[in-house]
């Protein structure tokens, strides 16, 4: 999650009201996730009104698809998107490995691909289902001894990135005309933190060839779907984005819920103890019953309660 400095005044501050919620953006390829945030911030003066804006998981500039953008109080909920399950359409090309494991890098090695069949691909994909170990690309944002891996790679440094376990819930073929055409499309549902570029690279090796990621489109993040998203151009043409924003409540719709009367809500937001009647570990969304406002997130583990409070207590004074 990244927050960005204030930009120049575009609209009259007095005419703007604070926004709290999520924008579901269909990011085009060719721009960074930072650029999406910057353009929305500049167009709607977000940081002059709602103070904060951030996103729930970076898409590389070459990738397109669902980018969850949080505004105002919603930025405090981004932690639940960064590590959440994702879904992608991955376009993979066999025959060459690149420095970045995608089409942006220089070719490191070529290899024949004419021996790869659809049946062989189906067999190889079996090893990419369930819990797998993968080594992230050298050109990644991971920190290696206090420095970004891509910075080390750009400076020609030699380093190793440790393997990590990720979960591949589903992986299936959307399109393949092997061996005539070395380009295939896969539908991949996976845990947060999965590198699709690593899957492309490792799949090529598993099939006795080399491969890289040619294109990537994110179609799902947590329980939000690309079909719910608006294009960036559409969003930037709006005068008021409140009508197309998703509420904080929608973002946590998959959590079990608890409701509190206003006096109890006030006590909780004031840091005072309240009886929640919760015995099982888990993450809970807490609402104030009169306003139906999401006021807090409870994370319970080993009989210990941690609260993420979204409002000051003064907003719910009895």
Q: What is the number of structural domains in the chain?
A: 3
Residue at 8 is within a domain:
no
Question: Please, which residues have CB within 8 angstroms of residue 58's CB and are 6 or more apart in sequence?
Answer: 33, 141
Pair 19, 46: CB distance under 8 Å = yes
pLDDT above 90 for 12: no
Tell me, yes or no, whether 271 and 236 share the same domain.
Answer: no
Please give the DSSP secondary-structure letter assigned to residue 102.
Answer: B
Neighbours of 185 (CB within 10 A): 16
Instruction: Cite the active site residues.
Output: 60
Q: Is the pLDDT of residue 13 over 50?
A: no
CATH of the domain at 302: 2.30.130.10
Same domain assignment for residues 186 and 234:
no
Give the CATH number of the domain where residue 214 resides.
3.30.2350.10
pLDDT for 15 equals 40
Which pair of tokens denotes residue 68?
């969850």
Residue 245 banded pLDDT, cuts 50, 70, 90: very high
Count of CB atoms within 10 A of residue 193's CB? 17
pLDDT, tens digit, 9 for 90 and up, residues 140-151? 888 888 889 889
Pair (151, 273) in one structural domain? no
Q: What is the average per-residue pLDDT within 132-140?
A: 92
- Within this chain, do residues 113 and 173 fall inside the same structural domain, yes or no? yes
At 253 the three-state DSSP class reads coil
Give the domain range for residue 283: 255-316
The pTM assigned to this predicted structure is 0.88
Scored b (16 or more CB within 10 A) or e, 155-173 reads eeeeeebeeeebebeebee
Cα angle for residues 314, 315, 317 (degrees, 5° grid): 60
Q: Which residues lie below 8 Å from residue 300, measured CB to CB, with a gap of 6+?
A: 278, 280, 281, 282, 283, 284, 306
Give 74-133 pLDDT, tens digit per residue.
999 998 887 899 999 999 999 999 999 999 999 999 999 999 999 999 999 999 999 999
pLDDT over threshold 50, residue 54: yes
**pLDDT at position 16 over 60:** no
Q: Looking at the structure, do residues 100 and 188 belong to the same domain, yes or no?
A: yes
Separation of alpha carbons 167 and 190, rounded Å = 6
Model confidence over 266-279: pLDDT tens digits? Answer: 999 999 989 898 88
Q: How sure is the predictor about 50, in pLDDT bands with cuts at 50, 70 and 90?
A: low
Name which of 25, 36, 96 is nearest 66 in CA terms. Answer: 25
- Rounded CA separation 158/309 (Å): 44
Shared domain for 108 and 149, answered yes or no, is: yes
160 in any annotated domain: yes
Quote the pLDDT of residue 80. 85
């Amino acid at each position: 999650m990244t927050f960005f400095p204030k930009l120049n005044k575009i609209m009259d501050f007095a005419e703007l009201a604070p926004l709290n919620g999520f924008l579901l953006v269909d990011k085009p390829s060719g721009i960074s996730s930072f650029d999406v945030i910057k353009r929305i911030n500049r167009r709607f003066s977000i940081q002059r009104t709602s103070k904060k804006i951030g996103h729930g998981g970076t898409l590389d500039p070459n990738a397109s698809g669902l980018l969850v953008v949080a505004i105002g109080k919603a930025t405090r909920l981004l932690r639940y998107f960064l590590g959440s399950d994702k879904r992608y359409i991955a376009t993979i090309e066999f025959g060459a490995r690149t420095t970045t494991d995608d089409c942006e890098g220089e070719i490191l090695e070529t290899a024949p691909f004419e021996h790869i069949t659809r049946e062989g691909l189906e067999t190889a994909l079996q090893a990419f289902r369930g819990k797998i170990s993968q080594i992230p690309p050298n050109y990644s944002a991971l920190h290696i001894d206090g420095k970004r891996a891509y910075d080390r790679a750009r400076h020609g440094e030699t380093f190793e990135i440790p393997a990590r376990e990720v979960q591949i819930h589903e992986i299936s073929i959307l399109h393949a005309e092997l061996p005539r055409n070395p380009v295939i499309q896969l539908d991949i549902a996976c845990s947060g933190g999965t590198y699709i570029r690593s899957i492309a690279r490792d799949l090529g090796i598993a099939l006795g060839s080399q491969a890289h990621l040619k294109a990537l489109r994110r179609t799902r993040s947590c329980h939000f779907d690309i079909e719910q998203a608006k294009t960036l151009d559409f969003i930037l043409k709006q005068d008021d984005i409140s009508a197309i924003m998703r509420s904080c409540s929608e973002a946590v719709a998959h959590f079990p819920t608890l409701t509190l009367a206003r006096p109890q809500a006030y006590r909780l937001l004031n840091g005072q103890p309240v009886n929640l009647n919760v015995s099982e570990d888990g993450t809970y969304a807490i609402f104030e019953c009169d306003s139906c406002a999401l006021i807090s997130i409870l994370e319970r583990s080993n009989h210990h309660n941690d609260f993420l409070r979204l409002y000051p207590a003064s907003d719910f004074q009895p």
